[in-house]
């Protein structure tokens, strides 16, 4: 069983940066694709970014491409989401997820078996 714990959320101003972390434990964590999803009040949970097990391939939603960067530290079983140029529309609860997603499924929630509890990111204008 994989456990995921997110941290690093908070209240920031427009244009600020924030780095989220997701610490993974249990199971063969480094064999899983890892991703970040987010959910705003009244909206469906949406894909943000994903990284394959080797860390060699990354994927981004169009809305964050060029501003966000996902990375993983395999030695520490931690993934990160560096968020730059934050905008009010980035306000959401951010969730870390792990699963055997492949290239064609990295952006779909059903490809991930394990989810964290979420961390709140609020961008104030």
pLDDT band at residue 90 using 50, 70 and 90 as cut-offs: very high
Counting every residue, how long is the chain?
A: 125
Which of 75, 62, 82 has the alpha carbon at shortest distance from 20? 82
How buried is residue 88: exposed, middle or buried, by Cβ count under 10 Å (0-12/13-18/19+)?
exposed
CA distances from 76 to 2, 14, 73, 108 (A): 14, 31, 5, 26
Token pair for 13: 């101003």
The set of residues, in sequence order, having a beta carbon less than 8 Å from that of 9 and lying 6+ positions away, is: 18, 20, 94, 119, 120, 121
Per DSSP, the three-state class of 69 is strand
Percent of the chain with pLDDT over 70: 100
In angstroms, the CA 12 to CA 16 distance is 6
Write the pLDDT tens digit of every residue in 64-86.
Answer: 999 999 999 999 999 999 999 99
Dist. CA 73–CA 55, nearest whole Å: 9
- Model confidence pLDDT, tens digit, residues 41-56: 999 999 999 999 988 8
Both tokens of 17, joined, read 């940066």
Cα(12)–Cα(18) distance, integer angstroms: 8
Query: What is the band of 31 on the pLDDT scale with cuts at 50, 70, 90?
Result: very high
């Amino acid at each position: 069983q994989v456990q995921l714990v997110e941290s690093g959320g908070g209240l920031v101003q427009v244009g600020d940066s924030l780095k989220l972390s997701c610490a993974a434990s249990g199971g063969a964590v480094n064999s899983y694709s890892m991703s970040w999803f987010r959910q705003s009040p009244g909206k469906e949970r949406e894909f943000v970014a994903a990284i394959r097990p080797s860390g060699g391939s990354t994927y981004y939603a169009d809305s964050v491409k060029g501003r966000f960067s996902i990375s993983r530290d395999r030695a520490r079983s931690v993934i990160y989401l560096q968020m730059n140029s934050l905008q009010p529309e980035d306000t959401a609860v951010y969730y870390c997820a792990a699963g055997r997603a492949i290239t064609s499924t990295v952006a779909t929630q059903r490809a991930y078996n394990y989810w964290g509890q979420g961390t709140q990111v609020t961008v104030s204008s």
